[in-house]
């Protein structure tokens, strides 16, 4: 048996859609479907159970019978029971179907069911009406039904939800036995509950099947874990450090005002006559081909370009070239770019890399406070790296380094956050991690973001100002 | 011809000046760049030091411009482009010097006399003239107008590092001094400190020294252990390996990158740590070789120090300057023709540890050179702090240039004074070590000790470990590295 979903579009009652589903489940495989809330995990599982309105594409090899545990299936059963009650228009109080009848139907292997009833310690409930059960109890009944129906495929959508720990452990063990001969597809929100027998992971996002990872591909699995962590945790951006206050800015003034900017070298002109004003709380996307001067403009703002002294630049209350130091400018800015990552070749710890954001330094050269360490640890937790706080930065994967540098840029809650192609060189999963983090930052709305990118698909929710540069005519 | 300033001083003052060197505390820099705020700083020369110091000073909020000779501006020479492309004002001496509150002379030593002679009459009353090396004042006896303040601010790293460390939010160790004969307003130290802050030096550590201590220790270090010993050692070790039939590519690579690798251990933990990287038998071997080398070379180190102190070295070199650098350029060309220089490094892998195991003689040479330079300097009245910086501390920097560029380029990169002294040392040291090298085999350079003789005598090992650890360069080194670590990266 191979289940085959090919370019499938499915619509569900509430208008939810699954799109572009291409998926193949082999007989020997056990899948985990995961993703954030609302990503379409349960919907994909339900498709295997024959639910949903197929708009286009095809399904093949769907087995029968299927053992299905899910909130939807549970709700359906309870609903049916309630309808029976409604249908009883006599003045007799319906007792409802007893649990025994719900479980022991003709499709059920009675011996297995009885075994499970004992294991779940449900004997005392067999004569009670199903609709009188608590949610946890009815969930157990659902599970017993599904596991004893001689299924060709088991679909277990959050089967552990609401189970106490001993029952949870019992079920895990039981499933490991079943997995010897029955393929299992599980839906779980939490990676730490994944049974050992799961061999593949499917990651859903916005109704699409975004990633399919083999369990034994450790690197990809770890990234997926991190992505899920970021997507499913209620992201709380850690607080700023009250001891390293950024001076208050005059809200009447723009953050940045560039007037008639020209960047030229003895033999060429890179930028000619550019004006750009960034007001507080504006988010900008800056784009343009290679060599159009994107990075030059940003480094005029950050003070890293020597010609910031020969141009009309107003930043954070300073008209440049009047005795201010670049550290007075940089305190207002968080900055991430590929170049920064190249320059950040420091053997210092992950925690120190984040703390260095308070000092705008590459490496840490100042004694940090306990509060700064605490904040850094909160960021590490947010990134799912809390176990590696003392790990050397330069031993980190490329994607993790980038995430850490974004945290470094954000740690002081700067009025302006500059993200110069933050996704460049990252694989798809890491790109989504980065974008998820940036969206959280934009939502918080205390920081203006300048986002530079090439990939149009990397649009970020919340950015609504655009500056597109062209190659200067003199620069060819 | 010039008058040696040092030689005009009475012995009492000579000794007092030589002994000046103090590691300054961070809280001595709380005024930041205030003493230079709003002052006009004009830099003469826009090479690597000039440009990068200027970029740092400007980024620290100071007013910086560059003055070049008319010809350099008219012909748009590299120095002009360096300054102009970075958005600095560039003007002639006549245009800018009269406006300057502080003139930063960042030209090579050799040009100091003509440059200072040209700009001094243009400088405004009570302005400040800053050097990054004291040679012109101390060895050439340049007399500066009485109303002018004369200071020195010398970052102890190449210009590119000065910039790179600043941009990272740090700095490089910096030496400052005030020429006491020229401090009419008594604000020389305040200006020097503000200048050091402007380049970021205060974050990495500032040494308060004197013009004399800087010159006499700097010359000694650079021509003996730093450049001289590494050059002589490279040539001798390479020729020995070839003589013993080893692969030339391997020999070339072992030397080119070996100095850098073994002195990295020196940088972190002094001579002790460098020798601790060896196996016990190799450590004993290196120790014995270095003791032998120290006996042979001590008279040479004494001669260099004596010639530096009494001015013989500088007058000899200045005679060559006056003679169109005939000696210097001839010796530079000779270096380019040596077998080591002409043999490219092979592409074999050499592990970090192998550089130690197969370079026992190189370790012995570094140990002997560092200790001799340190001992000779302190015996001449230079304080241990200065002696440490000018010997052990800077050796890894030169080793790094050899790793990148080998000897010819190393010599072209270092200052003229260092290069000239390096050749003098090399010419004397090569024959001096002739007999010593006859007894050297590939067990100490190229192949390493055979692995079946790892046993050592306990008493001998204890004796050697104690000797290593009790050398005075190790005591001061531990203290100064401790200071630096407090300020430096928390890594």
Which of B57, B87, B163 is the mutation pick for testing A, counting most A CBs within 10 A?
A: B87
| Co-location of A206 and A275 in the same domain | no
DSSP per position, A189-240: S-GGG--TT--EEEEEETTEEEEEEETT-HHHHHHHHHHHHHHHS---PPPP
State whether A359 and B62 contact (CB < 8 Å).
Answer: no
Cα distance from A174 to chain B (closest Cα, Å)? 50
* pLDDT score recorded for residue A428: 64
User: What would the mean pLDDT of A153-172 be, rounded to a whole number?
Assistant: 85
Give Cβ neighbours of residue A133 (< 8 Å, ≥ 6 apart).
Answer: A99, A125, A141
- Give a yes or no: residue A476 inside a domain: no
User: What would the mean pLDDT of B195-216 be, rounded to a whole number?
Assistant: 94
| Co-location of A78 and A168 in the same domain | yes
Helix H, strand E, coil C: the string for B79-101 is: HHHHHHHCCCCEECHHHHHHHCC
Task: Count helices and strands (H / E) in chain A.
Answer: 14, 18
Contact B72/A at CB under 8 A: no
State whether A266 and B85 contact (CB < 8 Å).
Answer: yes
Mark out chain A residues that contact chain B at CB-CB < 8 A. 265-266, 303-304, 306-310, 323-328, 343, 346-348, 352, 356, 359-365, 367-368
Of B58, B169, B490, the CB nearest to A362: B169
If we measure between CA atoms, which residue out of A92, A45, A97, A99 comes closest to residue A73?
Answer: A45
Tokens for A192, please give them. Answer: 């730490």
| Co-location of A169 and A315 in the same domain | no
| Residue B215 banded pLDDT, cuts 50, 70, 90 | very high
Q: Which residue of A has its CA nearest to B485?
A: A365
Contact B27/A at CB under 8 A: no
- Give a yes or no: residue A55 inside a domain: yes
Give Cβ neighbours of residue A99 (< 8 Å, ≥ 6 apart).
Answer: A122, A125, A126, A127, A128, A129, A130, A133, A141
| Co-location of A208 and A275 in the same domain | no
| Co-location of A80 and A194 in the same domain | yes
Helix H, strand E, coil C: the string for chain B is: CCCCHHHHCCHHHHHHHHCCEEECCHHHHCCCCHHHCCCEEEEECCCHHHHHHHHHHHHCCCEEEEECCHHHHHCCCHHHHHHHHCCCCEECHHHHHHHCCEEEECCCHHHHHHHHHHHHHHCCCCCEEEECCCHHHHCCCCCCCCCCEEEEEEECCCHHHHHHHHHCCCCCCEEEEECHHHCCCCCHHHHHHHHHHHCCHHHHCEEEECHHHHHHHHHHHHHHHHHHHHHHHHHHHHHHHHHCCCCHHHHHHHHHHHHHHHHHHHHHHHHHHHHHCCCHHHHHHHHHHHHHHHHHHHHHHHHHHHHHHHCHHHHHHHHHHHCCCHHHHHHHHHHHCCHHHHCCCCCCCCCHHHHHHCCHHHHHHHHHHHHHHHHHHHHCCCCHHHHHHHHHHCHHHHHHHHHHHHHHHHHHHCCHHHHHHHHHHHHHHHHHCHHHHHCCCCCCCCCCCCCCCCCCCHHHHHHHHHHHHHCHHHHHHHHHHHHHHHHCCCC
- Give a yes or no: residue A327 inside a domain: yes
Positive or negative, the CA dihedral B172, B177, B183, B185 is positive
* pLDDT score recorded for residue A128: 81
- Give a yes or no: residue A473 inside a domain: no
Contacting residues of B for A368, CB less than 8 Å apart: 490
| Co-location of A210 and A326 in the same domain | no
State whether A360 and B169 contact (CB < 8 Å).
Answer: yes
| Co-location of A191 and A139 in the same domain | yes
Q: Which of A256-265, A280-289, B200-209, B221-230 has the lowest average pLDDT?
A: A280-289
Q: Which residue of A has its CA nearest to B80?
A: A266
Question: What span, in angstroms and rounded, lies between the C-alpha atoms of A342 and A401?
Answer: 10
Boundary-marking domain end, from A232, A247, A264? A232
Q: Which of A223-232, A343-352, B395-404 has the lowest average pLDDT?
A: A223-232
Of B61, B81, B170, the CB nearest to A266: B81
State whether B489 and A326 contact (CB < 8 Å).
Answer: no
Number of independent structural domains in chain A: 2
Q: Which residue of B has its CA nearest to A352?
A: B490
User: What would the mean pLDDT of B163-173 be, rounded to a whole number?
Assistant: 90
State whether A360 and B63 contact (CB < 8 Å).
Answer: no
Instruction: Assess whether pLDDT exceeds 70 at residue B393.
Output: yes
Q: Is B187 a catalytic site residue?
A: no
- Give a yes or no: residue A242 inside a domain: no
Tokens for A23, please give them. Answer: 């998926």
A381-400 pLDDT, tens per residue? 888 788 889 998 887 777 78
Question: What span, in angstroms and rounded, lies between the C-alpha atoms of B87 and B59?
Answer: 12
Contact B42, B104 (CB under 8 A): yes
- Give a yes or no: residue A71 inside a domain: yes
* Ranges A170-179, B28-37, B70-79, most confident: B28-37
Cα distance from A312 to chain B (closest Cα, Å)? 13
Cα distance from B358 to chain A (closest Cα, Å)? 28
User: What would the mean pLDDT of A444-457 be, rounded to a whole number?
Assistant: 77
Boundary-marking domain end, from A232, A248, A282? A232
* pLDDT score recorded for residue B489: 43
| Residue B490 banded pLDDT, cuts 50, 70, 90 | very low
State whether A306 and B60 contact (CB < 8 Å).
Answer: no
| Co-location of A226 and A311 in the same domain | no
User: What would the mean pLDDT of A303-319 be, rounded to a whole number?
Assistant: 94
Please work out, in degrees rounded to the nearest 5, the angle formed at the alpha carbon of residue A276 by the alpha carbons of A273 and A279. Answer: 165
Contact B161/A at CB under 8 A: no
State whether B61 and A325 contact (CB < 8 Å).
Answer: yes
| Co-location of A87 and A38 in the same domain | yes
State whether B61 and A304 contact (CB < 8 Å).
Answer: no
Q: What is the mean pLDDT of chain B?
A: 93
Which of B39, B61, B72 is the mutation pick for testing A, counting most A CBs within 10 A?
A: B61
Instruction: Assess whether pLDDT exceeds 50 at residue B484.
Output: yes
Q: Which domains does chain B have, with CATH numbers?
A: 21-209 (3.40.50.720), 213-487 (1.10.1040.10)
Contacting residues of B for A348, CB less than 8 Å apart: 489-491
Active-site residue among B112, B133, B179, B471? B133
User: What would the mean pLDDT of A187-215 be, rounded to a whole number?
Assistant: 86
Domain that holds residue A321: 256-468
Tokens for B374, please give them. Answer: 């340190």
- Give a yes or no: residue A87 inside a domain: yes
Cα distance from A392 to chain B (closest Cα, Å)? 9
Q: Which of A11-20, A331-340, A345-354, B416-425 has the lowest average pLDDT?
A: A11-20
| Co-location of A213 and A113 in the same domain | yes
Domain CATH number, residue A400: 3.40.50.300
Of A310, A325, A348, the CB nearest to B491: A348
| Co-location of A294 and A182 in the same domain | no
Positive or negative, the CA dihedral A404, A408, A414, A416 is negative
| Residue B289 banded pLDDT, cuts 50, 70, 90 | very high
- Give a yes or no: residue A246 inside a domain: no
- ipTM value: 0.78
| Co-location of A194 and A271 in the same domain | no
Question: What span, in angstroms and rounded, lies between the C-alpha atoms of B391 and B370?
Answer: 6
Instruction: Assess whether pLDDT exceeds 60 at residue B337.
Output: yes
Of A265, A324, A348, the CB nearest to B85: A265
Instruction: Assess whether pLDDT exceeds 70 at residue B491.
Output: no
Instruction: Assess whether pLDDT exceeds 90 at residue A30.
Output: yes
| Residue A228 banded pLDDT, cuts 50, 70, 90 | confident
B302-313 pLDDT, tens per residue? 999 999 999 999
| Residue A456 banded pLDDT, cuts 50, 70, 90 | low
Instruction: Assess whether pLDDT exceeds 90 at residue A16.
Output: no
Boundary-marking domain end, from A199, A232, A265? A232
If we measure between CA atoms, which residue out of B291, B288, B273 comes closest to residue B460?
Answer: B288
Instruction: Assess whether pLDDT exceeds 90 at residue A158.
Output: no
| Residue A435 banded pLDDT, cuts 50, 70, 90 | confident
Contacting residues of A for B168, CB less than 8 Å apart: 343, 361-363
* pLDDT score recorded for residue A426: 67
Tokens for A262, please give them. Answer: 């020209």
């Amino acid at each position: 048996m191979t289940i085959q979903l090919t370019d499938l579009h499915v619509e569900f009652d509430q208008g939810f859609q699954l799109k572009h589903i291409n998926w193949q489940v082999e007989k020997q495989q056990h899948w985990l479907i995961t993703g954030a809330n609302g990503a379409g995990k349960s919907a994909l599982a339900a498709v295997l159970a024959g639910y949903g309105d197929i708009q286009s594409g095809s399904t093949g090899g769907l087995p029968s019978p299927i053992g299905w545990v899910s909130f939807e299936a549970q709700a359906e059963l309870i609903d049916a029971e309630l309808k029976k009650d409604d249908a009883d228009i006599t003045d007799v109080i319906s007792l409802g179907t007893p649990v025994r009848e719900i479980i022991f139907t003709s499709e059920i292997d009675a011996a297995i069911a009885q075994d499970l009833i004992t294991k779940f310690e449900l004997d005392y409930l067999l004569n009670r009406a199903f609709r009188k059960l608590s949610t946890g109890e009815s969930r157990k009944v659902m599970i017993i039904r599904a596991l004893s129906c001689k299924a060709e495929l088991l679909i277990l959508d959050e089967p552990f939800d609401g189970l106490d720990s001993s029952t949870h452990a019992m079920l895990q063990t039981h499933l490991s036995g079943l997995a010897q001969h029955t393929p299992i597809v599980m839906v779980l929100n939490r990676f730490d509950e994944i049974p050992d027998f799961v061999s593949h992971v499917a990651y859903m996002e916005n109704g699409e099947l975004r990633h399919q990872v083999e369990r034994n591909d450790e690197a990809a699995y770890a990234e997926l874990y991190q992505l899920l962590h970021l997507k499913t945790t209620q992201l709380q951006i850690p607080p700023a450090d009250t001891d390293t206050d950024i001076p208050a800015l005059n809200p009447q003034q723009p953050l940045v005002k560039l007037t008639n900017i020209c960047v030229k070298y003895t033999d060429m002109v890179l930028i000619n006559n550019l004006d750009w004003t960034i007001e507080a709380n504006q988010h900008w996307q800056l784009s343009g081909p290679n060599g159009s001067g994107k990075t030059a403009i940003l480094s005029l703002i950050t003070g890293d370009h020597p010609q910031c002294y020969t141009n009309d630049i107003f930043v954070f209350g300073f008209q440049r070239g009047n005795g201010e130091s670049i550290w007075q400018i940089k305190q207002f800015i968080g900055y991430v770019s590929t170049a920064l990552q190249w320059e950040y070749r420091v053997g210092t710890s992950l925690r120190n890399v984040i703390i260095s954001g308070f000092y705008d330094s590459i490496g840490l050269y100042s004694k940090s406070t306990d509060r700064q360490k605490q904040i850094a640890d909160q960021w590490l937790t947010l990134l799912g790296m809390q176990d590696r706080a003392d790990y050397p930065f330069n031993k980190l994967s490329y994607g993790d380094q980038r995430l850490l540098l974004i945290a470094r840029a954000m740690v002081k809650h700067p009025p302006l956050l500059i993200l110069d192609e933050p996704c460049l060189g990252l694989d798809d999963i890491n790109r989504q991690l980065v974008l998820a983090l940036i969206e959280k930052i934009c939502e918080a709305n205390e920081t203006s973001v300048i986002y530079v990118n090439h990939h149009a698909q990397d649009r970020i929710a919340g950015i609504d100002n655009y500056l597109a540069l062209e190659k200067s005519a003199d620069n060819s | 011809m010039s008058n040696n300033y040092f030689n005009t001083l009475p012995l009492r003052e000579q000794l007092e000046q030589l002994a000046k060197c103090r590691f300054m505390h961070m809280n001595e820099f709380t005024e930041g760049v205030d003493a230079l705020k709003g002052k006009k700083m004009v830099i003469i020369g826009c090479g690597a030091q000039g440009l990068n110091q200027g970029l740092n000073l400007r980024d620290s909020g100071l007013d910086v411009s560059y003055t070049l000779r008319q010809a350099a501006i008219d012909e748009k020479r590299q120095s002009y482009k360096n300054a102009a492309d970075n958005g600095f004002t560039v003007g002639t001496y006549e245009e800018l010097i009269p406006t300057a509150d502080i003139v930063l002379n960042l030209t090579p030593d050799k040009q100091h006399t003509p440059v200072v002679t040209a700009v001094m009459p243009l400088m405004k009353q009570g302005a400040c003239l800053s050097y990054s090396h004291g040679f012109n004042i101390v060895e050439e006896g340049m007399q500066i107008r009485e109303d002018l303040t004369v200071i020195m601010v010398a970052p102890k790293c190449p210009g590119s590092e000065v910039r790179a460390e600043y941009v990272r939010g740090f700095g490089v160790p910096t030496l400052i001094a005030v020429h006491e004969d020229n401090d009419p307003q008594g604000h020389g130290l305040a200006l020097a400190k503000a200048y050091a802050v402007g380049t970021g030096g205060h974050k990495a550590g500032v040494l308060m020294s004197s013009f004399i201590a800087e010159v006499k220790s700097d010359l000694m270090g650079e021509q003996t252990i730093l450049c001289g010993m590494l050059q002589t050692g490279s040539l001798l070790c390479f020729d020995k390996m070839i003589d013993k039939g080893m692969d030339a590519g391997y020999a070339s690579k072992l030397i080119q990158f070996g100095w850098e690798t073994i002195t990295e251990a020196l940088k972190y933990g002094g001579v002790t740590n460098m020798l601790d990287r060896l196996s016990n038998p190799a450590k004993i071997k290196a120790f014995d070789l270095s003791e032998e080398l120290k006996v042979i070379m001590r008279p040479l180190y004494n001669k260099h120090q004596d010639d530096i102190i009494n001015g013989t070295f500088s007058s000899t070199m200045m005679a060559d300057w006056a003679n169109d650098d005939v000696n210097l350029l001839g010796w530079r060309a000779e270096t380019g023709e040596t077998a080591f220089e002409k043999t490219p490094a092979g592409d074999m892998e050499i592990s970090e540890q192998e550089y130690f195991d197969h370079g026992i003689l190189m370790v012995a040479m570094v140990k002997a050179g560092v200790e001799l330079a340190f001992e000779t300097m302190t015996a001449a009245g230079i304080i241990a702090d200065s002696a440490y910086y000018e010997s052990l501390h800077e050796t890894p920097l030169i080793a790094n240039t050899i790793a990148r560029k080998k000897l010819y380029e190393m010599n072209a990169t270092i200052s003229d004074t260092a290069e000239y002294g390096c050749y003098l040392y090399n010419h004397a040291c090569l024959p001096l070590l002739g007999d010593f090298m006859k007894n050297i085999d590939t067990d100490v350079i190229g192949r390493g000790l055979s692995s079946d003789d790892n046993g050592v005598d306990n008493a001998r090992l204890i004796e050697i470990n104690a000797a290593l650890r009790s050398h005075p360069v190790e005591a001061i080194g531990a203290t100064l590295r401790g200071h630096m670590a407090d300020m430096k990266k928390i890594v």
